[in-house]
């Protein structure tokens, strides 16, 4: 998984904050992967149920990734690149054409990723590997969406809705009851790329 490679690259540069952010980033992708497994087995739920029951595990981690950005860090560009790009995970909220949403979010992150490339090209291979690995995360995500969810999430037509009645609940609902997931913390910027038209960049 591209996020794992980015985590390894983050560990190599020896910055605990960058590594911690990379670890949470991997967790965010793992949470979304678990949700996509649900999508492959369940019928499409209502938008309200999807937003309240499917999204929070990923959006919480998304907020944690952004919370790791430290303007005082010597590796601020690496932290901010991921902080700007991670709302790409909000593609699941975009119907018809989710792929371009990922491209838009990565464009925001790429501004800072290119700063890393410019600063360390030819003098720090570890930083360069981190920059390349970060880009690979979102390139890979775009390719996955193009292949499997080009026009939006592909729910299973004959599946059981995640929010079916008590007697008709599917395996996913039962699993959530057995292993409850925390709701996203208030105030976190969640899926703003998809819900609010994208994350604003700082003044340059």
**pLDDT value at residue 194:** 52
Angstrom distance (rounded) from CA 118 to CA 16: 23
**pLDDT value at residue 160:** 77
| DSSP-based three-state secondary structure for 191 | coil
- CB-CB contact of 120 with 9 (8 Å): no
Model pTM?
A: 0.79
Which string of DSSP letters, residue by residue, matches 46-108? -HHHIIIIISHHHHHHHHHHHHT--TTSTTHHHHHHHHHHGGGGGGGG--S--HHHHHHHHHH
User: 74-83, 115-124, 193-202 — which is least confidently predicted?
Assistant: 193-202
- Which domains, and CATH codes, for the chain? 2-152+168-174 (1.25.40.330)
Could you tell me the CA-to-CA distances from 157 to 10, 51, 97, 153 in Å, in that order? 41, 19, 20, 12
Give tens-digit pLDDT for 81-128. Answer: 999 999 999 999 998 999 999 999 999 999 999 999 999 999 999 999
For residues 23-29, average pLDDT:
97
Higher pLDDT, 198 or 142: 142
User: Average model confidence (pLDDT) for the chain?
Assistant: 84
Burial class (CB in 10 A: 0-12, 13-18, 19+), 164: middle
**pLDDT value at residue 157:** 85
Could you tell me the CA-to-CA distances from 170 to 21, 27, 43, 49, 201 in Å, in that order? 34, 25, 10, 14, 41
Question: Of 201, 196, 202, 192, which Cα lies nearest the Cα of 86?
Answer: 192
Token pair recorded at residue 176: 């959530």
**Share of residues in the chain with pLDDT > 90 (%):** 71
**pLDDT value at residue 163:** 54
Token pair recorded at residue 53: 């029951």
- CB-CB contact of 90 with 33 (8 Å): no
For residue 27, the tally of other CB atoms under 10 A from its CB is: 18
Give tens-digit pLDDT for 143-194. Answer: 999 999 999 999 998 887 665 433 344 434 333 333 333 333 333 443 444 5
């Amino acid at each position: 998984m591209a996020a794992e490679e980015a985590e390894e690259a983050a560990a190599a540069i020896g910055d605990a904050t960058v590594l911690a952010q990379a670890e949470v980033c991997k967790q965010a992708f793992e949470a979304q992967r678990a949700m996509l497994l649900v999508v492959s087995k369940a019928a499409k739920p209502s938008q309200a149920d999807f937003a309240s029951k499917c999204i929070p595990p990923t959006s919480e981690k998304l907020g944690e990734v952004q919370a790791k950005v430290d303007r005082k860090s010597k590796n601020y560009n690496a932290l901010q690149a991921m902080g700007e790009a991670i709302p790409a995970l909000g593609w699941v909220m975009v119907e018809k054409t989710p792929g371009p949403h990922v491209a838009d979010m990565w464009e925001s992150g790429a501004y800072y990723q290119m700063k890393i490339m410019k600063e360390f090209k030819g003098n720090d291979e570890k930083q360069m590997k981190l920059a390349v690995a970060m880009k690979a995360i979102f390139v890979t995500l775009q390719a996955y969406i193009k292949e499997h969810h080009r026009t939006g999430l592909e729910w299973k037509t004959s599946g059981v809705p995640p929010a079916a009645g008590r007697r008709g609940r599917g395996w996913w609902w039962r699993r959530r009851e057995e292993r409850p997931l925390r709701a996203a913390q208030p105030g976190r910027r969640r899926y703003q790329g998809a819900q609010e038209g994208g994350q604003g960049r700082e003044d340059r």
